[in-house]
Amino acid sequence: MQVIILGSGSPLPDPQRAGPATLVRTSAGDLLFDCGRGVLMRAAAVGSGAGAFRALFLTHLHSDHITDLNDIYTMRWAMSFQPNPLPLFGPPGTATLLKATEAMLEPDIGYRLAHHGDLQWRPSAEVSEVERGVIFDEGTVRITVGPTDHAPVRPTVGYRIDDGKKSVVIAGDTVPCAGLDELCRGADVLVHTVVRRDLIEQFGLPRLTDVLDYHSSVPNAAQTAARNGVGLLLLTHLVPTPAPGTEQEWLDQARVHFDGTVVLATDLLTLGVGDSTP
């Protein structure tokens, strides 16, 4: 199994970091978790793409995590040679989001259907709204979903992917909580979104300070990893974006609480699961 960070950024536009998105390459195919800004540009860099995703999983419906759903939905359809419905998993509200996305795309769908004689079907998705339990079981790959805590955003979920003996958890945006602990127990890799509490408090901007109460700080994520016996902690969705030369500070803040390997995400960072060297 491989974990590829397609976007290590946050809502704030950054020339080096696309929006939140993580690709997990499994024996059941390419599984995409969240689809932030620029996701298909980054997917193209690793030979994947809208038509190649085995399924798309959303952790929650905050705009930074879903902003390029329309691009995936359109490209999967417009580049297909036969109907290819998108398997889409997400918390309750995902079906409404898909419907609204399709409504927004309606003029484009009309243009393309009218113009391309061989494109005779509409885009489509198979939507599953999920909150808890095993939601995908194919060959050696099993995916479990569980509730996280990103209140007042509700509901939000995390995912655990088991492929044979290896396991990866995608936490999404959350504070430490029992639902995430359950997913993380004994996992090889935890991909966790984090913010730097110390820096955000120094800035003192109310709009930014607001994010502290529903995100994990670096120590929070490290404690979750330690409490659950995780092997490797991969920090992503970095707020604020690390200034050049300060990467070590992020790692040091985690290492105070966690003995395992800590890695700071960059776009296209690729991790072989079970191999501690990125």
Which positions lie near Zn ion, rule CB under 5 A? 62, 64, 173
- Residue 119 or 211: the one with the smaller Cβ distance to Zn ion is 211
Shortest distance, position 47 Cβ to Zn ion, whole Å: 26
Shortest distance, position 263 Cβ to Zn ion, whole Å: 19
Shortest distance, position 151 Cβ to Zn ion, whole Å: 11
Whether 64 is a known active-site residue: answer yes
CB atoms within 10 A of CB 93: 14
Shortest distance, position 173 Cβ to Zn ion, whole Å: 4
- How far is 145 from 105, CA to CA, in rounded Å? 29
By C-alpha distance, which of 262, 204, 213, 255 is closest to 233?
A: 262
- Report helix angle 218-227 to 247-255, nearest 10: 40
By C-alpha distance, which of 24, 59, 32 is closest to 131?
A: 59
- Residue 152 or 206: the one with the smaller Cβ distance to Zn ion is 152
Coil/strand/helix, residue 19: coil
The phi and psi torsions of 236 (rounded to 5 degrees) equal: -145, -175
Shortest distance, position 157 Cβ to Zn ion, whole Å: 12
Strands 29-33 and 53-57, by their bridges, are: parallel
Shortest distance, position 34 Cβ to Zn ion, whole Å: 8
- How far is 128 from 119, CA to CA, in rounded Å? 26
Strands 157-163 and 166-172, by their bridges, are: antiparallel
- Residue 1 or 265: the one with the smaller Cβ distance to Zn ion is 265
By C-alpha distance, which of 255, 216, 46, 146 is closest to 21?
A: 46
- Residue 7 or 123: the one with the smaller Cβ distance to Zn ion is 7
DSSP 218-274: HHHHHHHHHHTT-SEEEEEEEESPPPTT-HHHHHHHHHTT--SEEEE--TT-EEETT
**Residues near 53 by beta carbon (within 8 Å), at least 6 away in sequence:** 29, 30, 31, 32, 72, 76, 86
Catalytic residue, from 34, 64, 68, 188: name it: 64
- Residue 163 or 173: the one with the smaller Cβ distance to Zn ion is 173
- Residue 30 or 173: the one with the smaller Cβ distance to Zn ion is 173
Take residue 128 and report the two structure tokens written for it: 């599953």
Report, as residue numbers or ranges, the catalytic residues.
64
